[in-house]
Amino acid sequence: MTEQQQAGNNLDPWYHHYSERAAGLRASEVRALFAVASRPEVVSLAGGMPFVSALPQDLVIDAMDRVMVEQGAVALQYGSGQGIPRFREQILEVMALEGISANADDVVVTTGSQHALELVSKLFLDPGDIVIAEGPSYVTAMVIFRSYQADVDHVPMDEHGMIPEALREHIARLRATGRTIKLLYTVPTFQNPAGVTLSWERRLEILEIARENGILVLEDNPYGLLYFDRKAPDAMRSVEEDGVIYLGTFSKTLAPGFRMGWALAPHAIREKLVLANEAAVLSPSSFSQLVISEYLSRADWKAQIDTFRGVYAERKQAMVSALGEYLPQLSWTNPAGGFYVWVTLPEPLDSKAMLPRAVKELVAYTPGTAFYADGNGRQNIRLSFCYPTPEQIRLGIRRLTTVIQGELDLLETFAGTGALDMVQGGAQFTSPPPNVS
C-alpha cells in the first residue's frame, strides 16, 4: 500500500481502490429511517411495506407444496436467465389488466422490479448522462441512477402528473447545454412519493415528446392495480411498444418476500437485458417463479388484489380524514390508489429538521428531500398508509399534529429574532436543480 492510500482513510485500507461510481452509493435517507421506525412504539408512516398479512397463507403454502411435489427438481435448480416460459405467459395476463398486449418472449423475469431498474441502468447509463424523472421521484431508482454516475433532472408535476410543457422546456434546456438524455423515468400511476396519477391525455403527450426527442421511456408501475374507486388509465406501454421499457412486480399484488418482478422491453433491448441478468444472478429464482406461477394458476389472484385494494382504500381514507380533522392548515394529495400521500407543510417548516422531534413523539415519516436529487423537498413529507392499521394511522397523524403545532409555536416565538435560520437548517431550494443549470 502506498502512503497516499494509507492517508486516505484510516478505517478502510481499500479506500482508494473503489470504483469512481462507488462514490455515488450513499445511504439514502429512507435507510436511516427504517432503523428508527422499526421500534415497536413508533407509528411508522415512513416505509413502503405492503400489508402482507392480508394474504391468506394457505394460498402460498398450497402453491409451495404443490410445486415441490410436482416440480421439485426444477424448482431447486438453475433456470434460464430470462425466466420460465409459462411464468412469462402468466405475466402477460397480469399486464393485460392495464391494457398491455405483448409477447412472452419480450418479458424478462427479475429479482424484484428493483433489479430490472438496476439492469436497465447498467445497460444504458454512462457517466454524465441525464435521467429525466418526476420531481419528486422514487428514491431508490435515483440511488441506482447515481450509482452509474448519471444525473437526475426533475420535471415538476401537478395533480395530473408530470407537466408536458415543463418536460419540453427541460429537454430543450438540457440539450442546449450539451447533456445526453438517456431515459425518461416515470411512475405514472399512483406515483411514489406524490400519490398523483398521470392523466391519459398527458400519457399520450409525454410519449409523443419522448418519441420526437428519441428518449427511451422507463415506465415503472408497481401500484397500478391497487386503485381504490376506479381503474387507473392504461399503462403507457399499452400504446407504445418500441419506445417504452415497462417494469412490473409481484411485490405489491402478492408479496415482496419472493423478490419477483419483470421488465417488458423492445426486442433488441430485451436480449441485452437477459445477458445482463445472467451476468448478475445467472438466473432468477426458479423456486420463487414456480410458486408464483402455481399461485396464479390455482388461486383467485384477482380477488386477492381486490382484497388488497379494499385494505389500502380504507387506510388511505383514514389518513386523509385524520389530516382533514387535525391538520387542516396543511395541503396534501388525495391518491386514487397506491401507498402514499404527499403533504406540503406550511412555510417555513422544514421536514428534515423536524424529523427527530417527530420520532421523539413516536411517529416517523419520510422527509421530502429523500425524493429529490437536488435538495428540494424540505417543505414536503411522504406519509405511507400501506402498512399501519387505520387506528395506528389516526394515532400517527395526531402525534404528527403535536410535532407540527410545536414547530409552528416555536417559530412564532422566535419570529424576527434571527434564530430561525438555525431552526430551519437552511433556506428552501427554489432555484433550478444544480445539475441542470
Within residues 373-392, the interface with its own copies by CB under 8 A covers none
Shortest distance, CB of residue 322 to its own copies, whole angstroms?
Answer: 25
In the stretch 15-54, what mask flags binding to its own copies with x, by CB under 8 A? Answer: x-xxxxxx--xxxx--x--x--------------xx-xx-
Q: Does position 143 bind its own copies by CB under 8 A?
A: yes
In the stretch 54-73, what mask flags binding to its own copies with x, by CB under 8 A? Answer: -x-x--xx--xx--xx--xx
Shortest distance, CB of residue 389 to its own copies, whole angstroms?
Answer: 14
Q: Does position 408 bind its own copies by CB under 8 A?
A: no
Per-residue buried b or exposed e for 41-66, using 16+ beta carbons within 10 Å of the residue's own CB: ebbbbbbbebbbeebeeebbebbbeb
Please give the Cα distance from 151 to 129 (Å, whole number). Answer: 6
Shortest distance, CB of residue 140 to its own copies, whole angstroms?
Answer: 6
Please give the Cα distance from 301 to 115 (Å, whole number). Answer: 24
Give 277 or 424: the residue with its C-beta nearer to its own copies.
Answer: 277
Q: Which stretch binds its own copies (CB under 8 A): 221-229, 248-256, 341-349, 421-429?
A: 248-256
Q: Which of 125, 132, 305, 345 binds its own copies (CB under 8 A)?
A: 125
Sites for its own copies among residues 346-375 (CB under 8 A): none
Q: Does position 430 bind its own copies by CB under 8 A?
A: no
Beta strands in 304-349 (DSSP E): 331-332, 340-344
* Closest to 352 in 3D by CA, of 329, 323, 379: 379
Hey, what's the cell of 243? 419506445
Please give the Cα distance from 168 to 155 (Å, whole number). Answer: 9
Sites for its own copies among residues 258-297 (CB under 8 A): 258-259, 266, 268-269, 272, 275-276, 278-288
Hey, what's the cell of 387? 402498512
Give 149 or 402: the residue with its C-beta nearer to its own copies.
Answer: 149
Round the CA-based radius of gyration of the chain to a whole number and report it: 22
Shortest distance, CB of residue 74 to its own copies, whole angstroms?
Answer: 8
Hey, what's the cell of 92? 402477460
Sites for its own copies among residues 167-196 (CB under 8 A): 182
Give 186 or 285: the residue with its C-beta nearer to its own copies.
Answer: 285
Edge-to-edge order in the sheet of strand 130-135: 107-110, 261-264, 244-249, 216-220, 181-186, 130-135, 151-158, 161-162
* Residue at grid coordinates 379494499: 310
